[in-house]
Amino acid sequence: MNECETKVKPLLFNPYGDDFNSQLTPVKFFESPLTKEPTGLFTIFEPMHPIIYEFVKLQKQRLWKADEYPIDRTREQFDQLDNIDKKVFEYTLSFLAFLDSVQVANITDMEVVYNMPEYKIWGATHKYFEVEHSIAYSNILYGLFRESNEEVKRIFYLAKNDPELRHRNELIANNYQKLFDLLWNGLKNVSAQEYARTLTTVFAGTYAMEAVTFYMGFKTIEFYQYKYGVLPMTNKMISEIKADELFHVKVMSTIIKTLKPYITRYISEMEFDEIVVGTIKSYVEADLRFYQSILAQNNFGITQKQIENYIKYLADLRLKLLGYKPLYGVEENPFEEIDRLYGYLTSHINEGKKEAFFETKSSAYLSTELDDKVLSTFEF
Ligand SMILES: [Fe+2]
Ligand SMILES: [Fe+2]
């Protein structure tokens, strides 16, 4: 066999490669010879999976900047909440900040394993937006507690110092840790099957987070505006973040479907499906446990049953989007009324969308048009 056909290791610049080879895979796999790998010369000319590049273009149209949102009145708004609401809000901020932080770290590893340029560009674009979300949470925290660094630190670190929150966050982080470990130890030390399983878990976990884990946090902040009319600027930022996350649901479900035929060369279709459904289920259970333990004693206007039904309703919706059977049989959204005001779950369009968005922020208005385009262009 020709030396260049045997891959000893992937090459950063691979002069034997071919970027237009129909046997390219979206993520790096083991057995493909260097002649069937990309060169490393970056081109987006004729992408093999054009839908992924379409997603990149659409995401870029949603460019928004967390720093443009005035936060100077956040504190006086926050002070109108009672103690229980304040506590719930602090936990919500802490875990939302954790989720985006772990995404920024995790997408870095996904960028490493992506092989086709359209996926790599998606990874970079995705990461940029998750970083912006992290900035938004930092700004909200700073707006609230700029008088006291200790307070900022206390809330930020609930993610690791509160035992329940830590348990939930570790479960999520450990899913990604597997790929991190694997890259740390070197891909050559792992079997193709183990690698395939790890990739499936990582992509399913990312989907579960984009599709389920964030939303009770978003709902809590929407609820404060809905119920008390407070924290409108925080909710505005959350609505931008939610719009991005809803778009990411669509992208990640597409990526999971496009990766499936490649990954199931190494593990069975049944195992792939079990990992995806099992990962989503474990995220749902962690969410339910967290809300039961932390918020059970704190009645903040949303009942435990509503929370449980909402998480289960969401999980079923997201499983169906991937083509799986629903697990929980909850067909009614307990927060339908809030969604009508602040944006639905399948798209971020709300009923008063054009007037409300247009008055305040032109890019948000554009985003509703973008959403119409996404929905009409692609079937989800
Ligand atoms: Fe995010
Ligand atoms: Fe996201």
137 Cα to the center of ligand 2, angstroms = 14
Indicate where the chain has its CATH 1.10.620.20 domain(s).
51-377
Which ligand number lies closest to the CA of residue 100?
1
Which ligand number lies closest to the CA of residue 246?
2
- Res. 280 pLDDT band, cuts 50 70 90: very high
248 Cα to the center of ligand 2, angstroms = 5
What does pTM read for this prediction?
0.89
- Res. 359 pLDDT band, cuts 50 70 90: very low
Which ligand number lies closest to the CA of residue 245?
2
Residue type at 289 in one-letter notation:
R
pLDDT digits (tens, 9 = 90+) for 174-230: 999 989 999 888 888 889 999 999 999 999 999 999 999 999 899 888 888 888 888
103 Cα to the center of ligand 2, angstroms = 8
249 Cα to the center of ligand 2, angstroms = 8
3-state secondary structure 43-95: CCCCCCCHHHHHHHHHHHHCCCCHHHCCCCCHHHHHCCCCHHHHHHHHHHHHH
Contact 281, 201 (CB under 8 A): no
- For the cut 70, the answer to whether the pLDDT of residue 67 exceeds it is yes
Residue ranges near ligand 1 (ion) with Cβ within 5 Å: 100, 130, 133
Kindly list the distances between the CA atom of residue 324 and the CA atoms of 78, 81, 278, 320, in Å, as whole numbers in the listed order. Answer: 41, 41, 12, 5
Which ligand number lies closest to the CA of residue 240?
1
Which ligand number lies closest to the CA of residue 208?
2
51-377 — its CATH code?
1.10.620.20
188 Cα to the center of ligand 2, angstroms = 30
